[in-house]
Structure 1
Amino acid sequence: MKKSYKHLINWFCMALCIIALVGCSTNKDGQSNSENKDTSAKTATLAFPWSPSGLDPHSGDSWEIMRSGTAETLIKLNEDLTPGPWLAKSWKQVNDTTWLFQLQENVTFHNGKALDAAAVMNSLQRAIDKNQGTKNLLKIRAMEVVSENELKIETTEINAALISNLANPGTIIVDVESLDNEVSYPAFTGAYAIKEFNLDESLIVKQYEGYWGEKTKLDEVTIKFIPDGITRLMALQSGDVDGATDISVDNIEVLEKGDRFDVLTAKSLRTHMVMYNMESPLFKQLAVRKAVDALIPRQEIVDSVMKGKGTSAVGPFSPVVPFGQVNKEQEELSIEQLMQQDGWRKNTDAMWEKDGTVFEATFLTFPQRPELTVMAEVIQSKLLEQGMKVNIRQVENIDDALVNEEWDLAMYSMLTAHTGSPYFFLEIFYKSNSSSNMNHFASQKVDSMINELHQITDTEKSTELAIQIQEEIEKAVPHSYVVYPDTVFAVNKELEGFKALPIEYYYNNANINRTY
């Protein structure tokens, strides 16, 4: 009996020790495990293809930060692409080059600091200093704090697109001092605040309780960065994520077969295109660019690759916008005549050859938009039929590859009217001195026309000039515009409020909710 009693005492003591150890265990934030787990929290997980390299809002990662729901700009674009109030609740034009902005009241950054005119001015100044593209878009000469919630902006010249350009993610408002704090994340003003960032893996955001506007319906959202389209689809099907952007059109039928998912589509402002390296020995000559452009089977790509979810492209801008109403002139010369203009001749193998060298080009593509690789394969096949050999090479980061690697032509995709106006795309892709002019197009006439466009405030006249600029650019064929794709997202039916919109900034927002 004593042995049995001692045995029970030993087991009882051991149990107490285990309970004590469990009760004392903590996570890296010093919270107990029981405290750390909130079973009542409403959460969701989304899959995006692009991973930011950091959280600096005035770098090339500004779009990804905006899409996370953590950051805001002075202006927000409505669904019809008209500019509306956001951090700026109103504005007025004082004269041709001066604007007065009235800021929202009772707005705080995620670190609790109040947003005022001085903070906005400091953030915009940093955006201008850090990014030449932002500087070119805003054309700000000076800023002045008029009062706590009033900011005056003076431009170097008439900038008709200033208001819409202030919706550009490159103008995100941030507490500048928070960017220098190595132990915390940047302090933005959005409905969500950053909780955790894991490079190339995920960004976790949580509800910001001090938000000035409508509170989020979810407590936390995890955004997973999954560049491969098939992997995004598998994550959705397995339940690892609740929603995914940029779904391949090939996967629509698979998702629509069951009753678990909603497939969301919308006409987009995006253009899929082929870029020509105008410094490449193969594509320096206009005749060769014209030949390749004429061989691209646009309607076949819309029908077979896009499954009808898109429209054949004739210029950089979708016909959704008025300045996208351009006509493409048909090439009068045959492929043979064009190639022979540049000294190419067919050899005995029916391949084009010049100075003893067979036509062989490097064609870049990338995995984040899987349909582009399929398009490249279709174009590759058409060119081979005509005696041009093209080698497709997929790269992880297309922008880096275009700058740092050797290439002849490349698939590219761009939201060309993301501020609801033609200025941004024309400015960064076709101005001779733009760092984003990656295929080295240069035209003094186009430069001059773009400069003039910035100063036209009359909408009809600016639309007319924007079309003329496109016609002038098309004479040089720096790009082949292939298709205006529809935006395709997919979500678990438990997820509400996630929309596919023409504009691609506002993916994660306060209206997203999860039903159980």
Structure 2
Amino acid sequence: MRRSRNKKHAWVIWMTTIVFTLSLVGCAASPEATKTDKKEASANTASSKTLTMAFAWSPASLDPHGSDSWEIMRSGVGETLVKLNEQLEPKPWLAKEWKQENETTWVFTLQENVRFHNGKKMDAESVKNSLLRSIEKDQKAKDLLQVKSIEILAPNQLKIVTDQPNAALIPHLADPSTIIVDTETIENKLSYPALTGAFKIKKFNKDESLVVERYEDYWGEKARLSKVTIKYIADGNTRLMALQSGDVDAATDIPVDSIELLKKDKNIEVLTAPSLRTHMLLFNMKSPLFKELAYRKVVDMSIPRKAIVSSVMKGEGTEAKSPFAEVLPFGKVEKVKETQTIDQLMKQGGWEKNAKGIWEKQGKPFEVKMLTFPQRPELSVMAEIIQNELLKAGIQVKLRQVENIDEVLANEDWDLSMYSMLTAHTGDPQYFLNIFYRSTSESNVSHYVSPALDSMIDQLNQTSDATKRNGLAVEIQEQINQDLPQSFIVHPKTIFAVRSGVKGFTPLPIEYYYNNAQADVKK
């Protein structure tokens, strides 16, 4: 009996050993299985990657229709019907295609597989509601689009009719003021606006941060990052220190004077791109002095553009010859050199230099007021350089820094002012020329009146052919340079910086697409 039990016990041990051995064999993965497991592990790691960015400007709200539309677009959550590529050409985005039926009528066919962040399908009705709301809420959208009516032709097709010929309608539909949103979600206090981008809003702390996460049902290429935290840091040096310390992985609008320091840091890469911005000096053409072209010429001739690009911009910019940067197809404008000297121009106006070397007439010195503002520190430095050069030429300049430059320009007396404008924010000249130079425009801060230029702008508005439009834009700039309502100083570069391993966070001439689906980081 005992022998039988021992045999049985031995048999159980033997079977247990075989089963255990087989289980080990089964657990030993084949090369193919190992590769599959590694791929899955890699995918899981990639899907959970995050990034922290520092932006300079914070939105007051997440309403995409209004003054905060640019920041909504930059966060990667919003999209428009049209997108501008790196060459600033309009390409399909939420609109799959379009055609022009006549000079005021356009038909748009929409992408059919787009869903808002709340899961609702985007269709012609929701796009119509969104565009009409943007026009109602934002004067810029109204001016850009000039819409008379929007008609739904099919579930994914709509017709836009403009009040007058608007040859720039297509690039203007890339402006962030026209972001497409499910309008029913904007006023809902229990949720965030439902947009269509590769990222959706997760959490917003006003003036502090915005957290966005990958939208898994996105209609296009899925975001490579699962979450992006955008910190709003207004001060450039503070933004820089956050990058250096590793509190953020990437930062926009890096101060120019910090570039050399960053380039010495092996853990940080500085990224630059030509911008569509122009730093300029405004003349008040209602000023008793600068209503005269000769004195505007004197100031323009005294601006040391080459030295400013070298010393103030550290080489990160180009000398400006016109309102538009040379990166644009209509930006290559040759400036005619003045044939008369400063002394000749001043003496023709009856001015004589006094014992101190200052131009004087009837006992009064040639003295002017120049405004500047702190939000763009490089402009204040430029103002001091120009002040010094004008003093050498015999003109006294009193500098005044103001907090709200646009308010002071509109409501107070001034002679000269530093200013900065993004002059072709849709890659097209039409909008800027209409608001900044048309005689009747409230945004014509220099009070420049030219019926001839108004007529040329009208012609541009109605010209569809790209080559002819570019030619007209050049002619308009030549007229502006001749009349000189502003002196154009420099086209600055856009400057970003990222920590090692960050990819796809790239500055472009257009300032819209900061966070995007291609943004990535090696962990």
Residue 257 of structure 1, CA deviation: 0.8
Q: What SS is found at the alignment partner of 1:323?
A: coil
Q: How does 1:355-366 map to 2 (within 5 A)?
A: 357-366=364-373
Moved more, 219-228 or 263-272: 219-228
Per the alignment, residue 86 of structure 1 pairs with 93
Per the alignment, residue 65 of structure 1 pairs with 72
1:286 and 2:271 correspond:
no
Per the alignment, residue 166 of structure 1 pairs with 173
The one-letter code sitting in structure 2 at the alignment partner of 1:261 is: I
The one-letter code sitting in structure 2 at the alignment partner of 1:94 is: E
Moved more, 56-65 or 287-296: 56-65
Distance 1:364 1:183 in 2: 45
Equivalent residue pairs, number: 477
Distance 2:404 2:93 in 1: 32
Gapped regions of structure 1 (runs ≥ 5): 1-39
Q: Which of 370, 379, 392 does residue 386 from structure 2 map onto?
A: 379
Distance 1:434 1:110 in 2: 39
Residue 263 of structure 1, CA deviation: 0.8
Per the alignment, residue 506 of structure 1 pairs with 513
Per the alignment, residue 138 of structure 2 pairs with 131
1:333 and 2:340 correspond:
yes
Per the alignment, residue 306 of structure 1 pairs with 313
Residue 515 of structure 1, CA deviation: 2.0
Contact 1:49 1:368 in 2 (8 A): no
* Cα separation, partners in 2 of 1:100 and 1:248, compared to 1, 3 Å: same
Per the alignment, residue 458 of structure 1 pairs with 465
Q: What SS is found at the alignment partner of 1:109?
A: coil
1:320 and 2:327 correspond:
yes
1:485 and 2:498 correspond:
no
CA RMSD of aligned residues (A): 2.4
Q: What SS is found at the alignment partner of 1:328?
A: coil
1:445 and 2:456 correspond:
no
Instruction: Give % identity.
Output: 61
Gapped regions of structure 2 (runs ≥ 5): 1-46
Moved more, 106-115 or 361-370: 361-370
TM-score, structure 1 as length reference: 0.86
Contact 1:285 1:342 in 2 (8 A): no
TM-score, structure 2 as length reference: 0.84
The one-letter code sitting in structure 2 at the alignment partner of 1:53 is: A
1:421 and 2:428 correspond:
yes
* Cα separation, partners in 2 of 1:278 and 1:111, compared to 1, 3 Å: farther
* Cα separation, partners in 2 of 1:331 and 1:199, compared to 1, 3 Å: farther
1:45 and 2:55 correspond:
no
Per the alignment, residue 77 of structure 1 pairs with 84
Distance 1:484 1:285 in 2: 26
Moved more, 219-228 or 82-91: 219-228
Moved more, 234-243 or 433-442: 433-442
* Cα separation, partners in 2 of 1:107 and 1:356, compared to 1, 3 Å: farther
1:497 and 2:500 correspond:
no
Moved more, 462-471 or 413-422: 413-422
Q: What SS is found at the alignment partner of 2:210?
A: strand
Q: Which of 258, 262, 266 does residue 265 from structure 2 map onto?
A: 258
Per the alignment, residue 96 of structure 1 pairs with 103
* Cα separation, partners in 2 of 1:433 and 1:189, compared to 1, 3 Å: farther
Distance 2:64 2:366 in 1: 43
Structure number, greater radius of gyration = 2
* Cα separation, partners in 2 of 1:225 and 1:477, compared to 1, 3 Å: farther
The one-letter code sitting in structure 1 at the alignment partner of 2:481 is: E
Q: Which of 112, 116, 121 does residue 114 from structure 1 map onto?
A: 121
Per the alignment, residue 32 of structure 2 pairs with none
Residue 269 of structure 1, CA deviation: 2.3
* Cα separation, partners in 2 of 1:496 and 1:490, compared to 1, 3 Å: same
Distance 2:255 2:506 in 1: 17
Distance 2:201 2:360 in 1: 56
Per the alignment, residue 219 of structure 2 pairs with 212
Per the alignment, residue 12 of structure 2 pairs with none
Distance 2:290 2:210 in 1: 41
* Cα separation, partners in 2 of 1:68 and 1:364, compared to 1, 3 Å: farther
Q: How does 1:118-267 map to 2 (within 5 A)?
A: 118-267=125-274
